[in-house]
Amino acid sequence: MTSFDTIVMVDWSGGSDRGPTPKKDAIWAAVNRAGLAEEPVYLRNRQVAEDWLAELFTQERAANRRVLAGFDFPFGYPAGFARALTGSDDPMAVWAWFEARMHDSPKGNNRFELAGAINRSLGQGKGPFWFAPPSVQIEGLPANKTDYANPFAEKRASETRAKGAFSCWQMGGAGAVGGQVFAGLPVLARLRRQFDAAVWPFEPLDRPVAFVEIWPSLTVGAPPEGMIKDAWQVTEVARQISALPPDRLAAVLDVTQPEEGWIFGLGFEQELTAPPLRNDCFALPPGVHWTPVEDALDLLRHRLAPITGIQTAPLGAALGRIAARSVVAGRDNPPLPNTAVDGYGFAGARDAGVYELPLVAGRAAAGDAPAVVPAGHAIRVLTGAALPQGVDTVVLQEDVVRLDGAVRFSGPVKAGANTRKAGEDVTKGQTIIAQGRRLTAADLALLAATGVAEVALRQPLRVGVLSTGDELVEAGAAAQDGQIYDANRPMLLGLLGQFGHVPVDLGRVPDQRETLRSRLDTASRDVDVILTSGGASAGDEDHVSALLQEAGAMALWRIAIKPGRPLALGMWDGVPVFGLPGNPVAAMVCTLVFARPAMGLLAGADWSEPQGFKVPAAFGKRKKAGRREYLRARMRSGQAEVFASEGSGRISGLSWAEGLVELPEPAAEITPGDMVRFIPYSSFGI
């Protein structure tokens, strides 16, 4: 059983009370429940932290939720220490040893005294523990490593693998962890007993609360500007763990290390951070000369996966963003049976005939608490009002004669007429948003109505746009003969914004390999994806494809499509690069047909196929077999007309068009009135 409902990650501290205002180097905790992150919690000292944890565990257990709690200090010492200290190899004996001897208060504790005592009994006063601040002088505790001897290993097996991890023997100084262990184990020992918690990796995790040892620096980097590092790290680790599917979590937890303990996630760093794209993710099957469009799309669809992180956001910030997980309704809609009309409510059906029912005083309006209506009586009800007790049927006010203190109406009336059942729209727990959906305004209404105020979203995909070519100058600048204005960059940046990504302008570079290389180097540190235009073929000045080829992670996709020259698809320092043709018409078509669905997957969205419509052609055309063709088109009077010229340099046609006509690969002789597939630009999200 390795699935947990609630993840809580704690950044521990061996220091004294840090005061009431949130600060760094204090204790910070982050809760992630069913994938939803809560605000990180500041805990000023260990006593406050212990109470807070006890309360959390009590609450989660009462709600029948399994808790995985992580703490960033070693749960065990290097092999041999447990036996030397306690006479047993069981790390739990070490926990009990410290629990019995640590005296801890918000103002200070006896950790240095204890370390000195251990050194005197196990290491002739020279180790294994070391470090004491100048104000502290303890017999047997070396202040530094000059006269130091350690009868045990300097590090645990896991620490020799985790680059940068500190030794638990160091009792103080920047980054040291020794003091945290002394002060942390007694707290965990008490919580373990109180909640019957299982301790990883020493015990099977088959109980409702489990403790794991974490080291946030293993998988989490620097915080965003203005955020406290400890708060950020625990939030991130909690998110990473909650994002693991149960079988992968089981794999990460599958560790045998009965004495020293282990660091959660060691060996799984990549998987926990972002599963990387493989360098060969754009490779094409060998021997294919012209790849059909469908095959190219199939390859992209199966090779690409989300590369963006996950964050929780309130509904107000969710429009147009991608749901990172599916969302279930938090409440029935409607929550109670209610009336769909203004009228009079009573119980049961009525056959044909005339009825007169006495009215009870008052009325039921939307938002009122349900009243009680005795049998044989009726009550005035207004649209949206919860049905009072004793009411399941409503007649329209237009069908009623109002008498003094009574209503008269004619049957038949069906039981349940003019009412809405509780949950007839949505029932609590029903999936209302699928993972990968880009949220619409209507989705926000659905989420709000069913009591969902926050959603897990994918972080926006940052896409850089770079133009290449000696001939290019910036719009508005003076252009020499032979120079042209860079048209692709504003177009591509605009498309990206409309797709819902974050466009990043990477500027222009001339046809110079080294300049391009350094621009790609800088860009790949800042963005998630790079779109280039120009220089993608295999000619002398095609430096994009040459560089990607040199990086050993490129495929030149010769796709059977018109318009479109080869696409250079590759990886630059782990960042996918789409090398688009320079020609603006081909650049736009290739972006819509290939880059758009590919980037959607990278951003965490579903694979998207543009919705096309069969419409009569207003044009005639003869087409050869082999390539799929896209014509600039628009709908007028119920027919698709196409731009007068198919010239792929005609930017005016792109602007004239309101969509594309897609002609499949086989040869065709189209005459006006034949049905063709029209894909409006709006089907591409633009």
Q: How many residues bind ligand AMP (CB under 6 A)?
A: 18
| Three-state DSSP state, 148 | coil
Question: Could you say which of 8, 296, 472, 679 contacts ligand AMP (CB under 6 A)?
Answer: 472
| Three-state DSSP state, 679 | strand
Q: DSSP letter string over 625-673?
A: SSSEEEEEEEEETTEEEE-S---TT-HHHHHH-SEEEEE-SS-EEE-TT
Binding partner of residue 472 among Mg ion, ligand AMP, none, CB under 5 to 8 Å per kind? ligand AMP
**Cβ-closest residue to ligand AMP?**
582
Binding partner of residue 66 among Mg ion, ligand AMP, none, CB under 5 to 8 Å per kind? none
Using CB under 6 A as the binding rule, whether residue 242 contacts ligand AMP is answered as no
Min separation Cβ 586 and ligand AMP, Å: 8
Name the one range near ligand AMP by CB under 6 A: 253-261, 323-331, 579-587, 626-634: 579-587
Min separation Cβ 563 and ligand AMP, Å: 11
Strands (E), 510-626: 529-533, 554-557, 561-562, 567-572, 575-580, 613-616, 621-623
Min separation Cβ 505 and ligand AMP, Å: 12
Of 370-429, which residues contact ligand AMP (CB under 6 A)?
none
Angle between helices 111-122 and 178-195 (to 10 degrees): 100
Q: How many residues bind Mg ion (CB under 5 A)?
A: 4
Query: Among candidates 70, 100, 95, which has minimal Cα distance to 81?
Result: 95
Name the one range near ligand AMP by CB under 6 A: 19-27, 42-50, 263-271, 534-542: 534-542
Using CB under 5 A as the binding rule, whether residue 469 contacts Mg ion is answered as yes
Min separation Cβ 537 and ligand AMP, Å: 6
CB 593 within 8 A of CB 599: no
208/582 with CB nearer Mg ion:
582
Query: What's the distance, CA 498 to chain centroid?
Result: 21
Beta bridge partners of 557: 567
507/552 with CB nearer Mg ion:
507
Q: What is the number of other CB atoms lying within 10 angstroms of the CB of residue 63? A: 10
Using CB under 6 A as the binding rule, whether residue 653 contacts ligand AMP is answered as no
Binding partner of residue 14 among ligand AMP, Mg ion, none, CB under 5 to 8 Å per kind? none
Q: Which amino acid is at 578?
A: F
Q: Is 262 left (phi over 0), alpha (psi -120 to 50) or beta?
A: beta
Min separation Cβ 508 and ligand AMP, Å: 7
- Token couple for 218: 């293993």
CB 178 within 8 A of CB 169: yes
First and final CA of the chain: distance in angstroms? Answer: 46
Q: Which amino acid is at 629?
A: E
Using CB under 6 A as the binding rule, whether residue 533 contacts ligand AMP is answered as yes
Min separation Cβ 646 and Mg ion, Å: 21
Rounded to 5 degrees, what are φ and ψ at 596?
A: -65, -55
154/470 with CB nearer ligand AMP:
470
Min separation Cβ 298 and ligand AMP, Å: 26
Using CB under 6 A as the binding rule, whether residue 584 contacts ligand AMP is answered as yes
Using CB under 6 A as the binding rule, whether residue 545 contacts ligand AMP is answered as no
Query: Vertex 685, ends 682 and 686: CA angle to 5°?
Result: 70
443/542 with CB nearer ligand AMP:
542
Q: DSSP letter string over 496-525?
A: HHHHTSEEEEEEEE-S-HHHHHHHHHHHHH
Min separation Cβ 296 and ligand AMP, Å: 18
233/648 with CB nearer ligand AMP:
648
**What helix, strand, coil percent values describe the chain, rounded to 5?**
30, 25, 45
Binding partner of residue 18 among Mg ion, ligand AMP, none, CB under 5 to 8 Å per kind? none
Question: Could you say which of 74, 178, 464, 534 contacts Mg ion (CB under 5 A)?
Answer: 534
Question: CA-CA distance, 619 to 617, in Å (whole number)?
Answer: 5
Question: CA-CA distance, 161 to 190, in Å (whole number)?
Answer: 30
Query: Among candidates 263, 284, 280, which has minimal Cα distance to 272?
Result: 263
Of 480-499, which residues contact ligand AMP (CB under 6 A)?
484, 486-489
Question: Could you say which of 40, 116, 469, 503 contacts ligand AMP (CB under 6 A)?
Answer: 469
Question: Could you say which of 291, 467, 545, 591 contacts ligand AMP (CB under 6 A)?
Answer: 467
357/589 with CB nearer Mg ion:
589
Using CB under 5 A as the binding rule, whether residue 581 contacts Mg ion is answered as no
Angle between helices 46-62 and 178-195 (to 10 degrees): 30
Contacting residues toward ligand AMP, per CB under 6 A: 467, 469, 471-472, 484, 486-489, 533-537, 581-584
Contacting residues toward Mg ion, per CB under 5 A: 469, 534-535, 582
